[in-house]
Amino acid sequence: MFKFVSMRLLQSIVVMLVVGLIAFGLFRFVGDPINNMVGQDTTLAEREALTESLGLNDPFLVQYGRFVSNAVQGDFGMSYRLRQPVSGLIAERFPATLELSLISAFLALALGVPMGIYTALKPKSIITRGFMTLSLMGVSLPTFLIGILLILFFGVTLRWLPTFGRGEVIDLGWWSTGFLTASGLKSLILPAITLAIFQMTLIVRLVRAEMLEVLRTDYIKFAHARGLSPRLINFSIALRNTLVPVITIIGLQVGSIIAFAIITESVFQWPGMGLLFIQAVSEVDIPVMAAYLLLIAFVFVVINLVVDILYFVVDPRLRVQS
Partner 1 sequence: MSKTLLDIKDLVVEFPSRHGDVIAAKDVCLSVASGEILGVVGESGAGKSTIGNAVMGLLERPGRVGGGEVFLDGEKISGKSQVEMRKIRGKRIGMIFQDPLTSLNPLETIAKQLIGTIQTHLGFNDAEARERAISLLDQVGIPNPSERVDHYPHQFSGGMRQRVVIALALCAEPEVILADEPTTALDVSIQAQILDLLRKLVREKGVGMIIITHDMGVIAEVADRVAVMYRGVVVETGPTAKILGNPDHPYSRSLISAVPRPDVRLHRFPMVESIEAAGERKELDLSTHWLGKVRDFGQNEGSLLKVDNLEMVFKTGGMFGSGSSVVRAVDDVSFDIRHGECFGIVGESGSGKSTIARLVTSIYKSAGGSINFAGTDLTKIKKRKELNVHRRQMQMIFQDPFSSVNARMRVRDIIAEPIRFHKLASSEAETRQIVDDLLDHVGLGAKAAVKYPHEFSGGQRQRISIARALATRPRFLICDEPTSALDVSIQAQILNLLKDLQDELGLTMMFISHDLPVIRQMCDRVGVMSKGKMVEIAETEELFVAPKHDYSKHLISLMPSYTGLMNKESNHAEAGQAEAS
Partner 2 sequence: MSDISNERPSFLTRFRESDLWWNFKGSPGAIIAAILTFLMIFGAAFANFVAPHNPFDLATVDLFDALLPPAWEEEGKASFLLGTDDQGRDVFSTILYGSRISLIVGFASVGFAAILGIAVGLISGYAGGVIDSILMRIADVQLSFPAILIALLIDGVARGIMPRETHDELAVYVLVVAIGLSFWVQYARTVRSSVMVERNKEYVQAGQVIGLPDWIILVRHILPNVMGPVLVIATIQLALAVITEATLSFLGVGVPPTSPSLGTLIRIGNDYLFSGEWWITIFPGAALVILVLSVNILGDWLRDALNPKLR
DSSP secondary structure code for residue 177 in this structure: E
Least Cα distance to 134 among 210, 192, 213, 203 occurs for 203
* Distance (Å, whole) CA 13 – CA 8: 9
Q: State which of positions 121-160 bind partner 2 (CB under 8 A).
A: 136-137, 139-145, 148-149, 151-152, 156
Q: Which does 122 bind (CB under 5 to 8 A by kind): partner 2, partner 1, none?
A: none
3 state SS of 42: coil
Question: From residue 309, how far is each of 8, 37, 196, 253, 319 by CA, in Å?
Answer: 10, 45, 25, 17, 11
Judged by CB under 8 A, the residue of 2, 83, 225, 282 near partner 1 is 225
Q: Which stretch binds partner 2 (CB under 8 A): 94-102, 109-117, 237-245, 296-304?
A: 296-304
Sequence length of the chain is 322
Q: Which stretch binds partner 2 (CB under 8 A): 48-56, 68-76, 107-115, 272-280?
A: 272-280
Q: Do residues 176 and 296 make contact, with C-beta atoms less than 8 angstroms apart? A: no
* Distance (Å, whole) CA 131 – CA 246: 19
Least Cα distance to 5 among 252, 319, 240 occurs for 319
- Residue 316 binds partner 1 (CB under 8 A): yes
- Name 169's Cβ contacts closer than 8 Å, sequence gap at least 6: 176, 177, 178, 181, 184
Q: ∠ CA(312), CA(302), CA(79), 5° rounding?
A: 175
Judged by CB under 8 A, the residue of 35, 70, 125, 217 near partner 1 is 217
User: Shortest approach of partner 2 to residue 266 CB, angstroms?
Assistant: 6
Task: Output 149 or 221, the one with its CB closest to partner 1.
Answer: 221
Q: Which stretch binds partner 2 (CB under 8 A): 81-89, 171-179, 219-227, 292-300?
A: 292-300
Question: From residue 101, how far is each of 39, 115, 159 by CA, in Å?
Answer: 40, 21, 25
User: Shortest approach of partner 2 to residue 174 CB, angstroms?
Assistant: 26
- Residue 228 binds partner 1 (CB under 8 A): yes
Residues that bind partner 1 (CB under 8 A): 3, 7, 217-219, 221-229, 232, 236-237, 240-241, 244, 314-317, 320, 322
Residues that bind partner 2 (CB under 8 A): 15, 18-19, 26, 30-31, 136-137, 139-145, 148-149, 151-152, 156, 209, 212, 216, 252, 255-256, 259-260, 262-263, 266, 277-278, 280-282, 284, 286, 289, 293, 296-297, 300, 304
